[in-house]
Amino acid sequence: MPTYRSKMDKIKLETQNISKGFAGELTIKDINIRLGEKELVSLLGVSGIGKSTLFNVIAGVLTPDSGRVLLNAQDITGQAGKVSYMQQKDLMQPHLTVLDNVALPLFIRGVKKSQAREEAFSHFKEFGLEGAEKKYPAQLSGGMRQRAALLRTYMFSRDVALFDEPFSALDAITKSSMHRWYLDLMGRIDMSALFITHDIDEAILLSDRVYIMTGPPGRLAHEIIIDTLRPRGEEFRISDAFMGYKRQIIKLLS
């Protein structure tokens, strides 16, 4: 599996000096992020520091006051629909089957329904959703709903995805299971991901790098390289390396 350094040979997403404010007050200031090919990078910081504002700028939902967003070296600043964005709530449509929920990005793009369903269904086994295609969201467990939401995100764009605390609503046991599944999946698909979390353990376990955001206004104060190859098993959680990263991050956040 490639190391962090080789992943940075090809930059998929980059923000250049992004600043954004509201009512004359800066929320985020001079944010510079680089995301390499097939890289997982977490953004860690206290609530209200501007992480979601930054994601909305990257997703094109908000236009920055200054700075640029580049996707594959192309300027996409203020352009929605260029990167996938999975928010904290799964936003599954209750009246649609799981298959149609997953295929929704293709429907919106104008793909014929039969073709869209076939394309979406082809990924159900890989995403651990086999047998769930005719069910409705209310019939799924929390973990299965998140798998479906992640597959829908993947159907929107397989290049770069933004994840805003996708596992925060899950109980501890389900969350741990989802972490293992997510790491395994991300090792098999060609997707680069930025990941918002408040969970230090989650950030260390999932990430190639962790950005520490402080403020106000929100700014990137530190970058931690998690120099342990993925996928990482449960033994990594109790390793000296893991505890060393955790102590370092706690100190930087305090």
Q: Which domain holds residue 104?
A: 86-156
d(CA 254, CA 252): 6
d(CA 127, CA 149): 10
On whether both 200 and 230 belong to a single domain, the answer is yes
- Amino acid identity of 133? E
- Token pair of 141 as six digits: 């467990």
Maximum average pLDDT range among 23-32, 43-52, 158-167: 23-32
On whether both 78 and 173 belong to a single domain, the answer is yes
On whether both 248 and 186 belong to a single domain, the answer is yes
Whether 147 has a pLDDT exceeding 90, the answer reads: no
- Among the candidates 119, 139, 156, a domain finishes at 156
On whether both 138 and 162 belong to a single domain, the answer is no
Percentage of residues of the chain with pLDDT beyond 70? 95
> What is the reported pTM?
0.83
On whether both 19 and 66 belong to a single domain, the answer is yes
On whether both 118 and 201 belong to a single domain, the answer is no
d(CA 156, CA 81): 8
- Number of domains present in the structure of the chain: 2
d(CA 14, CA 208): 16
Residue 186's CATH number: 3.40.50.300
Per-residue pLDDT reduced to its tens digit, 42-77 = 999 888 899 999 999 999 999 999 999 999 999 999
On whether both 134 and 202 belong to a single domain, the answer is no
On whether both 72 and 15 belong to a single domain, the answer is yes
On whether both 165 and 243 belong to a single domain, the answer is yes
Whether 1 has a pLDDT exceeding 50, the answer reads: no
Strands (E) located in the chain: 11-22, 25-36, 40-44, 66-71, 74-75, 84-86, 160-164, 192-197, 209-214, 219-225
pLDDT at 7: 59
Closest CA to 42 of 192, 235, 142, 240: 192
